[in-house]
Amino acid sequence: MIATNENDEFPNLIKTGLYHKIEPSRNCLSSAMNVGHPSNIPRLVALYGGVMDEKGHISKHPDMNKMRKDIYSVSITDKETKEMIFEAYKNYKLLLEPHGSVGWAGLQKFLQNHPEMDKPEQLCISLETAHPAKFPEQITKILDFDPALPASLRGIEEKHESYDIIENRYSDFKKYLQEKY
């Protein structure tokens, strides 16, 4: 199951077999998903036998029947994102951030459209990209409280930022990790 925000180029590809980049990308609450041409789409197209260049042009179409059989994809609006944050907290005390809410809402739509899968013994996993405390203004507007920072992030604002710059080559990355750790 692949859920996106309103930048719905992938759900539209699954639905229609046609791919159109979104330029400029749509500004949504789940900001990390505000991408008009995600880099993972050409990889998915290739996985199903197709060829897509870096600009989004398909020179060989993937096996759309197989993609549709294997992948359920849906777009979630900002309104649905907010509603899911509210409902997940109200019903399960599950505190979602906007990206996790898109995933959770997508999972709920999948289960609604596949009732044979919606049973207590069915294992479903939904992933989040961040902690809700990264989005305090959005969470406060929706749930009327400021999400607390997890213990692992408390005091992070006072810490000194440090980073290293390495070349974009796997061999350099591997060497860096071996030397540092």
The residue assigned the tokens 């999972």 is 107
* H helix runs in the chain, sequence order: 9-16, 40-47, 64-70, 78-92, 98-113, 136-143, 170-180
Write down the pLDDT at residue 152: 85
Mean pLDDT of 29-40: 93
- Which tens digit of pLDDT belongs to each residue from 144-174? 999 988 888 888 888 899 999 999 999 999 9
Tell me if residue 92 falls in helix, strand or coil: helix
Q: What residue ranges do the domains of the chain occupy?
A: 2-149
pTM for this model (two decimals): 0.84
Report pLDDT for 171.
Answer: 95
pLDDT reported for residue 153: 82
What fold characterizes domain 2-149? Rossmann fold (3.40.50)
Which is it for strands 51-52 and 58-60: parallel, antiparallel or unpaired? Answer: antiparallel
pLDDT at 18: 96
**pLDDT value at residue 166:** 93
pLDDT in tens, 37-96: 999 999 999 999 999 998 999 999 999 999 999 999 999 999 999 999 999 999 999 999
Per-residue confidence band for 125, with pLDDT thresholds at 50, 70 and 90: confident
On the question of a cis peptide bond just before residue 24, with omega within 30 degrees of 0, the verdict is: yes
Stretch 102-127: mean pLDDT: 93
pLDDT interval class at 114 (50, 70, 90): very high
pLDDT at 177 over 90: yes
